[in-house]
Amino acid sequence: MITHIITDIEGTTSSIAFVHTVLFPYARKRITHFLKAYREDVLVAEQINAVKLSCRNNEMTLDDVIAQLIEWIDNDVKEPSLKKLQGLIWQYGYEQGDFKGHLYRDAYQKLTEWNAQGQHLFVYSSGSVQAQKLLFKYSEFGDLTALFNGYFDTSVGHKREAGSYQNIHQSLACPAENVLFLSDIKEELDAAKMAGFNVLQLVRDDSVTVGAHPCVEDFSQIDISRICE
């Protein structure tokens, strides 16, 4: 019986286009001004130092740090310091009403239904936990953070490695066979399956590489009562 459901965000609950055509460009456009304006802020200063540490160059100027961050953005590098800074910039954008977090209606309806049924819901995304919470707090359907019991990001490990899902399982008070993981990425599902989770692939369009796992087109087609049959 499924008692815990973990969902990806991009291509699963939310449009990939929202992340790549709204969030990423927004942060890229503002990151120079943001770092220069808030370089003395404790949270920002910590991430500036983290960039220098990652580059093994403590002599980097602020302009060097900004150039490195922009390079990481352009190459979609999953660097923790970049993710945290993007989250701070996106927080400003959400709070100012510059955009709302995109969520497919079918995902919103099913997540709400599962929550009402007592399912334990979690998010696992390559975006930082902060960015995840912002997307659901400022979603097109209002503040949905109360639906979720927890959030995971790459601090538990990369999403295509079985060990990451084993780390997540250690924090859940249930057998692995009671967990369902949802994603559009075949390799992530492969890794979750190796950790003992049930998996379903979301195939919302033809751009998805379909694996050997059970597939659905959207959340409305998911019947968790049949997952373990």
pLDDT digits (tens, 9 = 90+) for 165-189: 999 999 998 999 999 999 999 999 9
Contact by Cβ (8 Å): 126, 77:
no
Give pLDDT, residue 105: 98
Q: Which residues of the chain have pLDDT under 70?
A: 228-229
pTM: 0.90
Give pLDDT, residue 174: 95
For residues 44 and 69, give the distance between their C-alpha atoms in angstroms, rounded to a whole number. Answer: 13
Q: Hey, which CATH number is domain 4-15+100-226, 3.30.565.10, 3.40.50.300, 1.25.40.20, 3.40.50.1000?
A: 3.40.50.1000
What are the residues whose beta carbons fall under 8 Å from the beta carbon of 86, sequence distance 6 or more? 23, 24, 27, 31, 73, 128, 131
Q: Hey, which CATH number is domain 19-96, 1.10.287, 1.10.720, 1.10.3470, 1.10.8?
A: 1.10.720
Give pLDDT, residue 78: 84
Give pLDDT, residue 228: 65
Give pLDDT, residue 226: 87
Contact by Cβ (8 Å): 224, 114:
yes
Give pLDDT, residue 128: 87
C-alpha angle 72-126-30 in degrees, rounded to nearest 5? 45
- What are the residue boundaries of the structural domains of the chain, listed by start? 4-15+100-226, 19-96
Name residue, tokens 């599962």: 114
What separation in angstroms does the CA of 173 have from each of 33, 120, 170, 178? Answer: 44, 11, 8, 10
For residues 202 and 126, give the distance between their C-alpha atoms in angstroms, rounded to a whole number. Answer: 17
Residue 25: how many CB atoms within 10 A of its CB? 11
Give pLDDT, residue 227: 85
